[in-house]
A and B are shown apart, each in its own frame.
Chain A
């Protein structure tokens, strides 16, 4: 008992650290995914922007949704939100607390992806290479090109092998410029996220501590209650199944005994446990019939009260109906006493 309580406390008080662990793993996975991903800028005027911004924004969205999916408290939140009120009021503060804590954890991996992308610089270089200020960075002596032609040349900046605008603007100069902007954006994003996280965490004790303690308690309670209910149902199902099967075997053995016109063998008192466990089935034919009957027609989900001792070898009903039945034969009334 003590042991279970200790384990439970450990798991419960550490469910948050379990969730933190999962969210740390997802953050690492997102950094690893980025480094494994083979970034391949198309180097064409309008495709660049779409590709660059797509790589910057679509994977974080997917990671955010994945963060919700992997969080096993989401079903708990949904259940609590949708249940009918019944006798127990619903507290929106608890729902808000549960949603906020899940959303905060789910935001970490996308934030890591966006930071790593911006600090690396390839995405922004690809997306905004056509917007480089050629007047300030480029060679002023170059003859003017048409707008479209210039865009096509600039679009090839990320692809060094096919870049043909070295006279217009040096490739390294443009790449350094774009990378500097990208890294500046990246660090500003990191600073913004940490400032937000800091504000969220530090303003809470200043304003809403009592409400927070309440919401936290009741959200833990809902989680524990759900788990305990599942355990209790599992225990009940186990007992139900055991009694159902026991009654099936008893019914089987009584049936077969009466069909062979033998009186039911009362096991002598000193035979021992093994004989009892045989449940009255002691030969191959009987066992085969029992197995076939189990397969062909399983007993109904309806347990009988325990049997009274009886001297006659009459056969009871094999399959009592699921509702409180009207006894068909007077001798069967004994079976139907539900």
Chain B
């Protein structure tokens, strides 16, 4: 009991940590996807560039969109942005804050994919092997232009018959890999320095506004969750009342039709109260049939209860 309440409270107050958890999982998933993915460069002149750059940039876009989809706060932010003003003013600072925190979290998995790709090197080798300067490498300097293009395109494929023991292939491959890793580490360094600076310099600018924006964005999130919970509880109570009314109206209808003499005491036995005068097979079958063929109207106000036939003159529809 207490445990449920604690878990509930934890999730309610820590939606940020839930989001952080999801974003961490997505980052791990992106690394795992890269290692499982069987990179297979086509080793053909124009296809290499398309394939290499495609593998480097298309999955990050998909991961970014996944990060936005899986983040509950993005829906909350969109609702807050698009809602009619009504009696509650809209604070753009809050919406901006929410947007930036969502974007930051969603960017983590794509950036990790790009960095892992660069550090591994296969993508860049595949994409740019045709673009290296053949003069720099002994094996390719003396061949004709077309042949050079074909040979360079085959550099990423170690097992190709032309390239099997070619030392120039290894030279080109190492050269491109070195560039790729340098690029990867530089990007990582720049991002970490930027994050560091942002963390340290943020309190110098507008700290009060930031605190306000964070508070109200948390508030909007919690308010929405509690609204959903309240609706659930309300629909449960509504359903309970509706069913009780239905049984009551069936009971009255059957009382009318069966010409029974009034019983000695209404509360004769505890068990019989529960039975609500529905005490034989035909009555039960009739009740079940009525439930299917004519569900009661969605109206549990007191006035509908007293009609003897259990039918409601005001047929209320789901509005």
Contact = CB atoms under 8 A, between A and B. Distances in A.
Interface of A is mostly: helix
A187 B263 CA distance: 75
A305 B294 contact: no
B161 interface: yes
B292 A83 contact: yes
Interface string A285-308: 000000000000000111101101
A13 B229 contact: yes
B268 to A, nearest CB: 5
Interface string A59-91: 000000000000000000000000110111111
B296 A88 contact: yes
Interface string A173-196: 100110110011001101100110
A225 B278 contact: no
A319 interface: no
A229 interface: yes
B23 to A, nearest CB: 16
Interface stretch (A215-223, A256-264, A273-281): A215-223
A6 B3 CA distance: 10
Interface residues of B, number: 82
A40 interface: no
B8 A202 contact: no
A202 B78 contact: yes
B89 interface: no
Contacts of A190: 58-59, 62
A176 B40 contact: yes
Given A198-B65, A206-B82, A306-B269, A86 B51 contact: no
B188 interface: no
B243 A225 contact: yes
Contact of A306 (B55, B81, B272): B272
Interface string A115-141: 000011100000000000000010000
A25 interface: no
A302 B232 CA distance: 38
A235 B303 CA distance: 27
A239 B43 contact: no
Given A184-B54, A205-B78, A324 B258 contact: yes
A121 B235 contact: no
Interface in A212-266: 217-218, 220-221, 224-225, 228-229, 232-233, 235-236, 239-240, 242-243
A331 interface: no
Nearest to A3: B1
Contact of A176 (B41, B68, B284, B315): B41
B306 interface: no
B275 A239 contact: yes
B135 interface: no
A228 B41 CA distance: 59
Interface string B290-316: 011111111000000000000110011
A159 interface: no
A2 interface: yes
B192 to A, nearest CB: 27
A201 B70 CA distance: 10
Nearest to A179: B40
A18 interface: no
27 contacts: A3-B1, A6-B5, A10-B8, A12-B232, A13-B232, A83-B295, A87-B312, A88-B316, A91-B318, A172-B160, A179-B40, A179-B42, A180-B40, A190-B59, A191-B58, A191-B65, A198-B65, A198-B68, A202-B74, A202-B75, A205-B82, A220-B232, A228-B236, A232-B247, A301-B281, A301-B284, A338-B279
Interface of B: 1, 4-5, 8, 37-38, 40-44, 47, 50-51, 54-55, 58-59, 61-62, 65-66, 68-69, 74-75, 78-79, 81-83, 157, 159-161, 228-229, 231-233, 235-236, 238-240, 242-243, 247, 258-261, 263-264, 268-269, 271-272, 274-276, 278-282, 284, 288, 291-298, 311-312, 315-318
Given A205-B78, A220-B232, 17 more contacts: A6-B5, A173-B43, A180-B47, A180-B51, A183-B40, A190-B58, A194-B66, A202-B75, A221-B239, A225-B242, A236-B284, A240-B275, A300-B281, A301-B280, A302-B280, A322-B282, A324-B258
> What 6 pairs between A and B have smallest CB-CB spacing?
A89-B317, A86-B294, A301-B281, A180-B42, A303-B279, A225-B239
